[in-house]
Amino acid sequence: MPKTNRTYSFLLFCTMWLLVQCGIGVDKNTLPKTKVKFKDSLRHYFPILQGSELTIPYTFINTGKNPLTIIECQTSCGCTVAEFSTRPIEEGGEGTILLKFNSIKNIGYTEVFTTVIANTEPVGMHTLQFDVNVVPDALYTKDYEELYTIQEEKSKSSAKKLVDGEQQQGYYTDSTAKNYQ
């Protein structure tokens, strides 16, 4: 086989493999319908420190008569990543969707929804939900960017704007006052 044909064959193989691995070739409408039952689809977690990671496994059971295929999991926040297998799960079999929540950019009450798309009936979408309160570390100190931002906000206060007026000198003069020379 000539070298160019091998190259094209290899590229075609890689493209097909990538499409299959990404689930692009899977059409949920052509798969036989089944049913699924999630254990604990709504969860409330205890407070965690900012910067902590939370690993959340959601277990489900195929309660239908046909193989169950999870096609896609879409999280409502970029702080959460979903890991799942695209292999079909036989009747009565169990599977797990693993959510990894990173709290580095969150403070306070955080609620995350994950939409699971599968070959299920009557609706092919299911919602997994969890919430957690992310608290800052008690020893947390502000970095220079946060301190600078606070200082800039203070310097833009309304009192300074009133004092500066249009001259931007940091003071004002009283035109009715007696001038000293």
Instruction: Let me know: does 130 contact 113? Beta carbons within 8 Å.
Output: no
CA distance 65 to 38: 16
Distance CA 158, CA 136 (A): 31
- The parts of the chain modelled with pLDDT lower than 70 are 1-29, 141-143, 156-175, 177-181
What are the b/e assignments for 96-134, b being 16+ CB within 10 Å?
ebebebebeebeeebebebebbbbbeeebebebebebeb
Q: Which two tokens stand for residue 22?
A: 């990404």
* pLDDT for 9: 62
From first CA to last CA, the distance across the chain in angstroms is 100
pLDDT computed for residue 1 by the predictor:
47
Beta bridge partners of 132: 110
Q: What is the DSSP string of 35-60?
A: -EEES--EEEPPPEETT-EEEEEEEE
> Which are the contacts of 92, defined by CB distance < 8 A and separation ≥ 6?
61, 62, 63
- Determine the pLDDT at residue 157: 60
- Kindly state the helix (H) or strand (E) to which residue 160 belongs, with its residue range: helix 158-164
Provide the edge-to-edge strand list for the sheet that holds 36-38: 36-38, 53-62, 94-102, 80-83
Helices first, then strands: H and E counts in the chain? 3, 9
- pLDDT, tens digit (0-9, with 9 covering 90-100), for 115-150: 999 999 888 899 999 999 999 887 776 667 777 787
For the entire predicted model, the pTM comes to: 0.62
Of residues 134, 151, 133, the one with CA closest to residue 142: 151
